[in-house]
Chain A
Amino acid sequence: MKGRGLLWLGLVALGPAIWAAAFTLVYALHGAGCAAGWAGIDAGPVSLHRLLMLLGWLAGITAGGWLLLRLPAGKDRETWLPRAGALIGLFATLFTLVPVLFASSC
């Protein structure tokens, strides 16, 4: 009884939480890579450093997209808000990490 409401709140927060995880992961990869010199290692067309961050970014996008697809659609607030959360998470992951594509890394 108590659990259900909490579960729903958790579901609403899940989308943004995916963003938070992806953002932290890529930021941590960035810091670790600069400290460990991964930027100098080649991995195909990009450096190993950028490749890892790209993978982190893609993982976040995949998780966000997966959540969005899993959640039922509907207009009433109880169905809509978790979806809105998923949209926020997906969008924030796309937008805030897009600099991995073009900014210089270290």
Chain B
Amino acid sequence: MMSILKRMAAVSVPLFAAQACAAPLSTLDPAGPSAEAIAWLWWVFLAGAGGLTLFVMALLALSFGAPRAVSERRWTWGLGVWFSLAILSAMLVAGVAVGERLLPRDTALEVRAHAQQWSWTFTHPGPDGTVIETGRDLHIPAGQPVDVRITSADVIHSFWVPRLAGKMDAIPGRENVLRLQAASPGIYEGRCAEFCGIGYATHRFRVIAHDPADWPASVPAQAEEAPE
């Protein structure tokens, strides 16, 4: 117990937080336009929520003391209705606007992600017009939008690459489309994000973004998929 407490004390919190933000599944370390827009939303929300919490706590603290004459209108209509509506309306507009920007529009390169308990099958174009199927890594070109067509063979799963975009469920009998874009080449961790049974914790995959100049030549055939 003592040693745990010491370990905790040794790590100063801000450093710890900054370090944690840059994790392989971190939504706070965006590497593509979708994830970036959402991370922005989060930081704005955080600032606003912090301010509002302080405001309410201050009102609460001020209530301790002698009785005061209060105007019912000001508290219920002023603060309760108008003040909160102003904030909520701004959030609605921001939310819908960002959401619209993240939707798949126009045409883009298409790849497929087929989920099953507890593995994935990715299908994408390979070198020389071939179609390549892989099991662990989804290959995409960096710097351009890619539509992932997501399906499931058994139960509901969810396709999630936090550094690139939000999640989209894989539902048996349906096909969902998620738009992804990686800003630069690299390896991005992904995982299933809907509880899908015993193997859920390890239902993972990776997205490998290639330099567009080498695409699709650099996509390895499945047999060559490098071990982890």
B96 in the interface, Cβ–Cβ < 8 Å?
A: yes
- Chain B residues bordering chain A, tally (CB within 8 A): 6
Q: Which residue of chain A has the shortest Cβ distance to B97 in the bound complex?
A: A102
What is the distance, in angstroms, from B100's C-beta to the closest C-beta of chain A?
A: 6
Contact with A along B81-99 (1 / 0, CB 8 A): 0000000010010001001
Residues from chain B with Cβ under 8 Å of A99 in the complex: 96
Instruction: List chain B residues, Cβ under 8 A from A104.
Output: 100, 103
- In Å, the complex CA distance between A98 and B89 comes to 11
Task: State the Cβ distance, A101 to closest chain B Cβ, in Å.
Answer: 10
Consensus secondary structure, chain B interface: helix
Judge if A35 is at the interface, Cβ distance under 8 Å: no
CB distance from B173 to the nearest CB of A (A): 15
Give CA–CA (A102, B100) in the complex, Å. 9
Q: How many Å lie between the Cα of A98 and that of B88 in the bound state? A: 13
Q: Which residues of A contact B96 (CB under 8 A)?
A: 99, 102-103
Q: Considering the chains assembled together, what is the distance between the CA atoms of A26 and B45 in angstroms?
A: 30
Q: Which residues of A contact B92 (CB under 8 A)?
A: 95, 98
B175 CB to nearest A CB, Å: 14
8 Å CB interface, A36-62 against B = none
Residues on B with C-beta less than 8 A from A103 are 96, 99-100
Give A85 Cβ to nearest chain B Cβ, in Å.
15
The 8 A CB mask of A64-106 against B (1 = contact, 0 = none) is 0000000000000000000000000000000100110011100
Chain A 9-28 per-residue mask, 1 if CB under 8 angstroms from chain B, else 0: 00000000000000000000
Residues from chain A with a CB closer than 8 A to the CB of B100 are 102-104
A39 to B99, CA, bound (A): 19
What B residues does A98 contact at CB under 8 A? 92
Interface hits, B56-112 → A, CB 8 Å: 89, 92, 96, 99-100, 103
| Closest chain A residue, CB of each to CB of B85 | A95
For the complex, what is the distance from the CA of A103 to the CA of B98, rounded to whole Å?
11
Residue of B nearest to A98 (CB): B92
A79, B87: Cα distance in complex, Å? 30
A85 to B92, CA, bound (A): 23
Shortest distance between the CB of A77 and any CB in chain B (Å): 13
Bound form: Cα–Cα A99–B103 in Å:
15
CB distance from A103 to the nearest CB of B (A): 6
Q: How far is the CA of A104 from the CA of B96 in the complex (A)?
A: 10
Provide the residues of chain A in CB contact with B103, threshold 8 Å: 104
Chain B nearest CB, measured from A84 CB (Å): 11
- Bound Cα distance from A95 to B91, whole angstroms: 12
B88 nearest CB across to chain A (Å): 8
Contact partners of B99 in chain A: CB under 8 A: 103
Chain B interface (Cβ < 8 Å from any Cβ of A):
89, 92, 96, 99-100, 103
Q: Which residues of A contact B (CB under 8 A)?
A: 95, 98-99, 102-104
The contact sample of 11 A-B pairs, CB cut-off 8 A, is A95-B89, A95-B92, A98-B92, A99-B96, A102-B96, A102-B100, A103-B96, A103-B99, A103-B100, A104-B100, A104-B103
Given contacts A104-B100, A104-B103, 9 further A-B contacts (CB under 8 A): A95-B89, A95-B92, A98-B92, A99-B96, A102-B96, A102-B100, A103-B96, A103-B99, A103-B100
